[in-house]
Structure 1
Amino acid sequence: MIFWYIQILLLFQILCGINTSNIPYRIYDMIPQGICKMHRIPLLDNLLTPSDPVQLPSPETGAIFRQSWNSSTFKKFYDCKFYLQAPAHMGLYLSVSKLQLRKNSRGHCIDNVVVKKSNDKKYQFCEIEDVNEVKVFSDDRGWMRVTVNLDSKLALPTLEDTLEVQFIVTVKRKCKDFGYLPCEKDEDDSCISKSFFGDGFFNCPECVDEEGCVIDSEQVLILNPSNVFLSALISLFLTMLFFGGCLWCVYRHRRCITACNSNHIAASNQNNRENRTSVHTSDQIQVELHTTAATFVQPSAPPDDDKDLPPAYDSLFPVTPVGR
């Protein structure tokens, strides 16, 4: 009896092992896997954070990245980042099936998720309003980066509140082999393994693999800070190059500029002297003309014969000789 019991128990373990091995997803708990970063010195983040992408080995195997934080555990971490890489010549589907992050009273995200695709486009969001809503991102080159940014300085409203994220990653390929079904109509490279259909996880952009899915078509595209920084750096470099060239030209031709300034000053002084001389000469000419005019224009008086002179004193008062 004990022997049969042992045989049944071993058979049950073997069956459980078979069922476990047939699960088409590899589970990644982001804190135990080291995906979420602890608080460190910012300069050491790039050195201490592994940047090797998570390789999905085949189209038959997907990945689930999940994590939840309570009021005490989320204070230890400030962001979680992981890279995804599909097999050669294949693409990726990334669906956000669970997302419970914080927003302030103005509707702005306190915590957020940023998805970066291989074309350097970034999408930022922080909530899923409907329980059955799903955000799905597609990349034909098979490369993505996902970052969960947590504001650990701001405490959760209550001790019972939690933060939660869950991402489903699926490899897509060309629809030419048996055992694959398309996710998108009229797309020859949108096929995933049919084992993902009806498994309870949303994999396709149009939710053709499951029922009761709501598509979130409103995704916020954000600018790439690296491109903005690169543009600003190039503009600064060109500006410095332009001003440097101007200063070099001034320094190279400083003698010519000094000589030109001296010649200009000398010419200005010469012109001033000539102007003063011409003014003085014109004054003299005016004086000579005025004098000449005075010599020719003289008052004319009648001759002495025409004047009625008064009678002489002797005629009016004759003198009588003394002795007469």
Structure 2
Amino acid sequence: MIVCCVQILLLMQTLCGFYASSSPYRIYDMIPQGICKMRRIPLLDNLLTQSDPIQLSSSERGAIFRQSWNSSTFKRFSDCKFYLQAPTHMGLYLSISKVQLRKNSRGNCIDNVVVKKSSDKKYQFCDMPDDGETKVFSDDRGWMRVTVNLDTTLALSTLEDTLEVQFIVTVKRKCNEIGYLPCEKDEDDSCISKSFFGDGFVNCPECVDEEGCFNDSEQVLILNPSNVFLSAIISLFATMLVFGACLWCVYRHRRCIATCNSNHSAGMAHSNRENLESVPASDQIQVELHTSSANFVQPTAPIDDDKDLPPAYDSLFPVAPVGR
């Protein structure tokens, strides 16, 4: 009886090992495998602990990253971050197959997922699109970073509430070998293994490898608020530094500035005098001022010598001699 039990266990172990080796995906449960860190000080975790990239060594095998949080694990574990690295001269597809995170009453994300590509562009989201399509990100250089940010200051509403994420990672390569099919039209480096087609997981944009997905995946570029704030602080300090340097230069050279201004004014006056002297006398404008004299009276009308004058008084009234 014991021998039979041992044989059954060995057979089950063999079957499980065969299934694991034949599966096109490697499963990563993020908390058991240390991708999600124990809650301590997240800033120190980010500075002191830098995770090594997860290498996808073969284009025939993908990876599934998954994790769910309940009220217990949510309190004990902080944010989750992992890096992805494809083989040399190959790219990556990252499809977001499941995202169940929290939003506030205004529809803004409380928790979020941030995908950073090799071009340093970041994309943020906290749920699946309303039409149920799958978000698929592509990187030709084969490098990505995925971060799940959880707001641990806000507890889950009830004990039954859970948060959940699941990501599918696939290596893409050039379409120059048998056994690979393209994910995108007119793209020579968008081929993935045939084993990923029809397996129930979306690997390609527009769900080319699966049926039932008809909408194009849309990637919305977002600005990182922390980077914007940091840039604003740096710009403010740079402006203050330049302004202070200008004030210091003005204060340091104030005497030179005053001397230069006085010399400039004197030079301008001297130049004006030289210019005036160089102008010919005939070209100079002369202004004559008429002065008035108290003894000078302008006659109002000319004297007419031919006009008859009245007779004299003596001729009209002669005076008789005295004594008559």
Which bin holds the TM-score, normalised by the shorter protein? Answer: 0.7 to 0.9
**Structure 2 residue 222 is matched with structure 1 residue 189:** no
CA distances 1:262-291 after superposition (whole Å, capped 9, x unpaired): 899xxxxxxxxxxxxxxxxxxxxxxxxxxx
CA distances 1:58-116 after superposition (whole Å, capped 9, x unpaired): 11121111000012221223321111111111110000111111112211111111111
Corresponding residue number in structure 2 for 1:88:
88
How far has the Cα of 1:202 moved from its partner? 0.9
Specify the SS of the correspondent of 2:44.
helix
How far apart are the structure 2 equivalents of 1:3 and 1:131?
Answer: 55
Which stretch shows the higher mean deviation, 253-262 or 136-145? Answer: 253-262
Preserved CA contact (<8 Å) 1:111 1:150 = yes
Specify the SS of the correspondent of 1:220.
coil
How far has the Cα of 1:44 moved from its partner? 1.4
Residue identity (%):
76
Listed as ranges, the matches of 1:6-21 within 5 Å are 10=10, 13-21=13-21
Aligned length: 273
**Structure 2 residue 265 is matched with structure 1 residue 256:** no
Corresponding residue number in structure 2 for 1:237:
238
Corresponding residue number in structure 1 for 2:302:
none
Corresponding residue number in structure 2 for 1:321:
none
Preserved CA contact (<8 Å) 1:134 1:214 = no
What's the RMSD between the two structures over aligned residues? 3.4
Specify the SS of the correspondent of 2:103.
coil
Specify the SS of the correspondent of 1:124.
strand
Instruction: Report the residue type matching 1:241 in the other structure.
Output: V
**Structure 2 residue 100 is matched with structure 1 residue 100:** yes
Instruction: Report the residue type matching 1:247 in the other structure.
Output: W
Instruction: Report the residue type matching 1:51 in the other structure.
Output: S
How far apart are the structure 2 equivalents of 1:33 and 1:144?
Answer: 19
Instruction: Report the residue type matching 1:88 in the other structure.
Output: T
How far has the Cα of 1:232 moved from its partner? 5.6
- Gaps in structure 1 of 5+ consecutive residues: 265-291, 297-324
Corresponding residue number in structure 2 for 1:273:
none
Preserved CA contact (<8 Å) 1:25 1:63 = yes
Specify the SS of the correspondent of 1:16.
helix
Listed as ranges, the matches of 1:1-324 within 5 Å are 10=10, 13-129=13-129, 133-213=133-213, 215=215, 217-224=217-224, 228=228, 229-230=230-231, 233=234, 236-237=237-238, 240-241=241-242, 243-245=244-246, 247-251=248-252, 253-259=253-259
Instruction: Report the residue type matching 2:89 in the other structure.
Output: H
Preserved CA contact (<8 Å) 2:69 2:163 = yes
Preserved CA contact (<8 Å) 2:180 2:192 = yes
Specify the SS of the correspondent of 2:257.
helix
- Gaps in structure 2 of 5+ consecutive residues: 265-292, 297-324
Which one has the bigger helix percentage?
Answer: 1
